[in-house]
Amino acid sequence: MILCRPREAIILAGGLGTRLRSVVDDRPKPMAPVSGRPFLEHLMDYWVNQGISRFVLSVGYLAENIRSHFRDCYRGCSIEYVEEAVPLGTGGGFRQALQNTLWKQQYVTLVNGDTWFEVDLAQLTLDADKSRLPVTIALKPMRSNDRYSAVRIDKDNRVVEFGIKSGDIGLVNGGCYLIDVKRVAEVLCKYPNKFSLEEDFLVQMASSGRVGASIHESTFLDIGIPADYYRSANVIGAQK
In the predicted structure, residue 37 carries a pLDDT above the cut 80: yes
- Report the distance separating Cα 159 and Cα 92, nearest Å: 22
Q: How many CB atoms lie within 10 A of CB 59?
A: 25
Confidence tier at 14 by pLDDT (50, 70, 90): confident
Q: Are 157 and 197 in contact (CB under 8 A)?
A: no
Name residues whose C-beta falls within 8 Å of residue 171's C-beta, 6 or more positions apart in sequence: 139, 140, 141, 142, 150, 151, 152, 153, 213, 215
Nearest to 148 by CA among 131, 165, 132: 165
Q: Find residue 13's DSSP bridge partners.
A: 59
Whole-number pLDDT of residue 36? 92
Nearest to 96 by CA among 112, 110, 82: 82
In the predicted structure, residue 237 carries a pLDDT above the cut 80: no
- Which has the higher per-residue pLDDT, 223 or 167? 223
Confidence tier at 24 by pLDDT (50, 70, 90): confident
- Report the distance separating Cα 115 and Cα 220, nearest Å: 7
Q: Report all structural domains of the chain as residue ranges with CATH numbers, in order of start.
A: 8-237 (3.90.550.10)
List, for residues 131-184, the tens digit of each pLDDT value. 999 999 999 998 866 677 889 999 999 999 998 876 667 899 999 999 999 999
In the predicted structure, residue 81 carries a pLDDT above the cut 60: yes
List, for residues 58-67, the tens digit of each pLDDT value. 999 889 999 9
Residue 155 exposed, middle or buried by CB count within 10 Å (0-12, 13-18, 19+):
exposed
Nearest to 47 by CA among 178, 188, 235, 208: 178
Name residues whose C-beta falls within 8 Å of residue 138's C-beta, 6 or more positions apart in sequence: 117, 119, 124, 174, 175, 176, 177, 214, 215, 216
Confidence tier at 238 by pLDDT (50, 70, 90): low
Whole-number pLDDT of residue 97? 97
Whole-number pLDDT of residue 144? 67
Region 26-34: what's the mean pLDDT? 89
